[in-house]
Amino acid sequence: MACRINFVLFPGFQQLDLAGPMAVFEVARLAQPASYRWRLVASQPRSARSSAGVDWPVQALPRQLGADDLVMVIGGDGVDAACRDARLVAWLARASRSGARIASICSGSLVLAAAGLLDHRTATTHWSRSRQFASDFPAVQLQPDRIYVREPAARRGASRLPELWTSAGMTAGIDLCLALVARDCGEEVAGEAARQLVVERRRPGGQSQFSPLLDMQRPEGRFGALLDQVRRDLARDHRVDELAALACMSPRHFARCFREETGVTPAHAIERLRVEAARGALEGGQPSVQRIAEDCGFGSTERMRRSFQRLLGRPPAAFRKARA
């Protein structure tokens, strides 16, 4: 049975967030004609105007969905108003109980969060929205470095939680859809779709998008001076209680304020700083991997390798090879 994709639009959606994923599924359908079909839907009737000022014809939100449906919320500048659209939010909540898979492109993940679909689950969003996301939806386990995240279907008590996919920016939506095609149709079809679109099937940079920690280096940032101090001495342990003392806060208050401002936990920020420093040392030709691991605070090459895989999608050796 073909997967029926429901592209959810709203006023002010980003056209590329729609066109990229649609192109992936279009190419997949050329390889397997029975694989996908789709429709454009919205809570407002007849048409949805994109942020570029183009009206797109839409259908009403479908009353019934099933296991063969994929609901994909598109992102864009109009996402804040979409989060306040009571009809859309209620429909998404019902959709999550229908057995359909749920996905979002770019900032569309905020709409899923507004509907409560991401509570206590892992998700990502565009880096520019990570602080807003962390502040507005603290129950979500946000991973702002990831280009996309898949949460498998699960059970929580008597409730069934749907399979959830969230992606970062516009092009990350293409990565997400290629991964969906690989699961639905096989790796060969996903690879052919990537070749036709002239994109990487899997990015050489792994799962990492633009790091939101770059924003924290601004001199006006609340924790900029603290992070500079950490960066100068990455070999230290940098426990939360020590960082809180330096910031003249209680550990609990510090952890909450840090996440509100940066979109990440202190531990994640320290890990990211260490990975960035180690990556620079590797690409700069520093010979001893063990010395890099010690100087950057990992303690061991294995711990450094796990952090690289988690945040960059590649082992440390890949960055040394890139210089060769």
What are the structure tokens assigned to 168, written together? 């970062």
- pLDDT value of position 121: 95
- pLDDT value of position 322: 47
**Pair 183, 226 in one domain:** no
Q: How far apart are CA 181 and CA 176, in angstroms?
A: 9
Q: What is the pLDDT of residues 81-91, one digit of tens each?
A: 999 999 999 99
- Listed in sequence order, the DSSP H helices in 32-138 are 79-83, 86-95, 109-114, 130-136
103: how many CB neighbours lie within 10 A of its CB? 30
**Pair 163, 263 in one domain:** no
**Pair 193, 219 in one domain:** no
**Pair 169, 278 in one domain:** no
**Pair 170, 32 in one domain:** yes
**Pair 147, 288 in one domain:** no
pTM above 0.85, yes or no: no
Q: How far apart are CA 269 and CA 290, in angstroms?
A: 22
**Pair 158, 272 in one domain:** no
- What are the residue ranges in the chain where pLDDT is below 50? 205-206, 210-212, 214, 217-219, 322-324
Q: How far apart are CA 148 and CA 133, in angstroms?
A: 15
Continuous segment of H or E residues that includes residue 47: strand 47-49
- pLDDT value of position 205: 44
202 located within any domain: no
Residue 226 sits in a domain of what CATH number?
Answer: 1.10.10.60
**Pair 145, 284 in one domain:** no
What are the structure tokens assigned to 79, written together? 């996402």
- pLDDT value of position 317: 86
Domain range enclosing 272: 213-323
203 located within any domain: no
Look at the chain and report how many structural domains it folds into: 2
- pLDDT value of position 321: 52
- Listed in sequence order, the DSSP H helices in 128-212 are 130-136, 170-185, 187-197
